[in-house]
Structure 1
Amino acid sequence: MDSGDIERFERDGHLAVRGAVAPDTAAACRDAIWAALAEQGVTRDRATWARPVVRVACPEGGPFEAAGTAPALHAAYDALIGPGRWTPRAGVGGSVPVRFPSEEFPGDVGWHIEGSYEVGGEYWANVRSRARGLLALFLFSDVGEDDAPTRLVVGSHLAIPRILRPAGEAGMSGDEPVTRVRPSLLCRTVVHATGRAGDVFLCHPFIVHTATWPHRGTTPRMMAQPAVHVADGFAIDGSDPSPVARAIVAGFGADL
């Protein structure tokens, strides 16, 4: 990762680490996800693909340990968050919403930022991004434009800090900031999290994003979406040198 990558991350709010996870590791992860789906009656037999999305907890151990500890990702976490600041994990974590070819509305589509900590059964975020350093999108299957890719609003992370700041340490629900942004924000350029199995998108914790539908591809889309944990969040007084923190501070003055 070079200075240009970091500059683009601060400006756009996301960075793709291509080939972060080896192809054979990604294939083994898919096999484990299929095993988890089988517990819900969903198999490789298309006749069992009755729902547009089925969520499973990301399996632990084995290939997921290899995926979550990939050297390229650890180097990227160091570059974007800072060495020693993020919490190492022997795996990937999070959930895997498996999206199946379907025209049916999946029911979980809507612009939002990720919450980081639980308040009253909802996930909230605050301006220091307590508990979340990054949103990681692990592609365990090939994802093309027809495969219901996650949609990211370029630069939207810069609009969120001014909305979260008045809420202080308490923060607010991850869905609420998007209701307060200018409608024109959602007309900005978008990118889709597409690529080959093993690619990982690293996103600023405040990036506005959504699931998409319909899935008009031919195979299930398998993608984990864990947080990269940072216990204390980031300083927002300009003293924090990390690219994540610099983008938060830049957002205070952004006219979005």
Structure 2
Amino acid sequence: MDVEGFERDGYVAVRGAFDADTAAACREMIWGSLAARGIDRDDPGTWRPSVEIPCPSGEPFATAATSPVLTAAYDELIGPGRWTRRDWVGGAVPVRFPSEEYPGTGSGYHIEGSYEGPDGSFWVNVRSRARGLLALFLFSDIGADDAPTRLVKGSHLYIPPILQPYGEAGIPTEQVESQWRPSVLCRATAHATGKAGDVYLCHPFIVHTATWPHRGSTPRMMAQPAVHVHDGFVLDGSDLSPVARAITAGLALSQ
């Protein structure tokens, strides 16, 4: 795995993290959840630009979540014994259907929240309390025309100096988005494209956005759960995990 690239760019793609049959079984269950919302796979007239559902649970999702390749990657990026093992993928599945229309959700540069703050919204702090990684599970093939998630390369390094003054309490993610320099969004980008079964593992502070339109021919299915950590990361130089090293590297940029 390209750990150096993860620390530099803020993400790494784990190709073939789970097999095509598992991905196909996951898609079947996602279609089942969509049918309960009146969406018929054989009737594009029932499709909408974007429909977000909770990630289903069940055997194929357990197989994807417990992939030995993924668990080894979590150990390498976060540290053995530090992340929460679970037998489900979790998170939301924003299903994007072929459409020229604005999807209405997720289309705006942001970072993910980590925990519920006192106001009930999602908050984040400099130690990335509760969130070890953002994972993007590709359940369908996703190409450049299929509205892939856009990742701003290296943007995770510019978030720690924003968060540091707020200490352990942290701030709402919306306040982070109002403080980064506009130049952050001028950095090079990458798109989370690949085959069903690929998983992108992203630094918790990476700036990203949904894209549109979706000019592909089939619905895009992807889950975007957090990989939970028992505690946040230690930033005094003693934490040698790549996630922590990237945070301390970001803090050093502001000195």
Q: CA offsets, 1:148-198, max 9 Å, x none?
A: 100000000000000011111111122322221111110100000000000
SS in 1 for 2:64: helix
**1:223 counterpart letter in structure 2:** M
Q: In structure 1, how many angstroms separate the alpha carbons of the residues matched to 2:82 and 2:64?
A: 20
Q: Is the 8 A contact 2:140 2:220 kept in 1?
A: yes
| TM-aligned CA deviation for residue 61 of structure 1 | 2.0
In the TM superposition, 1:128-167 aligns within 5 A as: 128-167=127-166
**2:214 counterpart letter in structure 1:** H
Q: In structure 2, how many angstroms separate the alpha carbons of the residues matched to 1:48 and 1:252?
A: 50
1:238 aligns with 2:237: yes
1:23 aligns with 2:20: yes
Per mean C-alpha deviation after superposition, the further-off stretch among 14-23 and 176-185 is 176-185
Q: In structure 2, how many angstroms separate the alpha carbons of the residues matched to 1:133 and 1:237?
A: 17
| TM-aligned CA deviation for residue 239 of structure 1 | 1.1
Unpaired runs of 5+ residues, structure 1, are none
**2:133 counterpart letter in structure 1:** L
In the TM superposition, 1:202-217 aligns within 5 A as: 202-217=201-216
Residue in 1 aligned with 2:43?
Answer: 46
| TM-aligned CA deviation for residue 253 of structure 1 | 1.8
Q: Of the candidates 58, 69, 77, which is equivalent to residue 61 of structure 1?
A: 58
SS in 2 for 1:201: strand
Query: Considering only aligned residues, what root-mean-square deviation do their CA atoms show, in Å?
Result: 1.2
Q: CA offsets, 1:70-119, max 9 Å, x none?
A: 00000000000000000001010001000001111111211100001112
| TM-aligned CA deviation for residue 19 of structure 1 | 0.4
Q: In structure 2, how many angstroms separate the alpha carbons of the residues matched to 1:121 and 1:35?
A: 31
Q: Is the 8 A contact 1:49 1:100 kept in 2?
A: no
Q: In structure 2, how many angstroms separate the alpha carbons of the residues matched to 1:243 and 1:46?
A: 46
| TM-aligned CA deviation for residue 140 of structure 1 | 0.1
Q: In structure 1, how many angstroms separate the alpha carbons of the residues matched to 2:154 and 2:46?
A: 36
In the TM superposition, 1:108-119 aligns within 5 A as: 108=105, 109-119=107-117
Q: CA offsets, 1:123-165, max 9 Å, x none?
A: 1111000000000000000000110100000000000000011
Per mean C-alpha deviation after superposition, the further-off stretch among 117-126 and 151-160 is 117-126
Q: In structure 1, how many angstroms separate the alpha carbons of the residues matched to 2:242 and 2:44?
A: 46
Q: Is the 8 A contact 2:14 2:198 kept in 1?
A: yes
| TM-aligned CA deviation for residue 47 of structure 1 | 2.9
Q: In structure 2, how many angstroms separate the alpha carbons of the residues matched to 1:125 and 1:197?
A: 30
SS in 2 for 1:133: strand
Unpaired runs of 5+ residues, structure 2, are none
SS in 2 for 1:152: strand
In the TM superposition, 1:72-91 aligns within 5 A as: 72-91=69-88
**Count of equivalent residues:** 253
Give the TM-score normalised by structure 2.
0.97
Q: In structure 1, how many angstroms separate the alpha carbons of the residues matched to 2:144 and 2:173?
A: 26
**1:183 counterpart letter in structure 2:** P
